[in-house]
Structure 1
Amino acid sequence: MMNSKLLPGLKILVVEDEYVIARELSEALERHGAKVLGPVATLDAAMAQLSANEDLAGAVLDIKLHGSQAYTLAEMLRGRGVPFLFATGYDRQEIAPDFRDVPHCEKPVDVRTIIATLAREMERRTLSSQE
């Protein structure tokens, strides 16, 4: 059985404009111990969450948000060293070249895969910062 507390108390930002996906993902993250910020459906709301939460541990981003794209947010997360992944309908070739190295889960999403991928990215980031 998977450890139910993969993300104990960690603040995870969920940026997704499809309500059902956002809710399902948020509930799954909470079951794994995360404190979910959002979910938010717009770039402006995501930027506000980023500004208000210095201790953000990770993020799950949809790329296309009501006509905007989340690359500006992704750049800011990268600059702060916050691990994130894309949960998107785009395949890897459709992702902007600067972000093709970012883990991505293609829609329709499997929340277990998203959580496992995010936990792995966060662990990888922690290990590399300890070296």
Structure 2
Amino acid sequence: MSASSTLSRQPAPLAGRRILVVEDEYFLADDIGKTLRALGADVAGPVGHIEDAVKILHDGGILDAAVLDVNIRAEMIFPIARELRTRQVPFVFTTGYDKISISSEFQDVLLLEKPIDLAAMARKLAALIADPRI
């Protein structure tokens, strides 16, 4: 049974929330999107290029949270993370690398190592939206 079908029987903790997903691994991006949608989220993306993430940031829509792969096509995601932080939009990082690859300014951001536990990721995002100080 997939994570999204298991989650779909639970209340929709992300209902009405718009979540940006930046991930360049197609199947993982698709799985993250499906999981978040199963919980009621409106997914912005997923996108696999920094430029596309910038377009979403500037499309005038509200973002409630984001899931950011640290390394997108050999570019670091930190400019997107900085803008989200400025806007006080909570986010989590995903990576296949060590925490050492995270810029020191983002050491406080939750880092989910690949392979990602999608259900746990969704719970953590919902908790961050409810209380960004987590």
Q: What TM-score, normalized by structure 2, do the two folds share?
A: 0.89
Percentage of matched positions with identical amino acids: 37
Which residue in the other structure is 1:110 paired with?
Answer: 117
Q: Give the number of aligned pairs.
A: 126
Name the one with the larger helix percent: 1
Q: Give how far 1:50 is off.
A: 0.8
Q: Give how far 1:94 is off.
A: 2.2
State the 4+ residue runs in structure 1 displaced beyond 6 angstroms.
Answer: none
- Which structure 2 segments of 5+ residues have no match? 1-5
Which residue in the other structure is 1:123 paired with?
Answer: 130
- Which structure 1 segments of 5+ residues have no match? none
Q: After superposition, what is the alpha-carbon deviation per residue over 1:60-119, rounded to whole angstroms, capped at 9, x for unaligned?
A: 000101111100000000000001000111222221111110011100111111111111
Equivalents in 2 of 1:10, 1:46: separation in Å?
17
2:80 maps to amino acid = L
Q: Give how far 1:54 is off.
A: 3.6
Which residue in the other structure is 1:97 paired with?
Answer: 104
Shifted more, 11-20 versus 45-54: the winner is 45-54
Q: Give how far 1:21 is off.
A: 0.1
Report the RMSD for the aligned CA atoms in angstroms.
1.5
Q: Is the contact between residue 4 and residue 31 of structure 1 (CA under 8 Å) also seen in structure 2?
A: no
Q: What TM-score, normalized by structure 1, do the two folds share?
A: 0.90
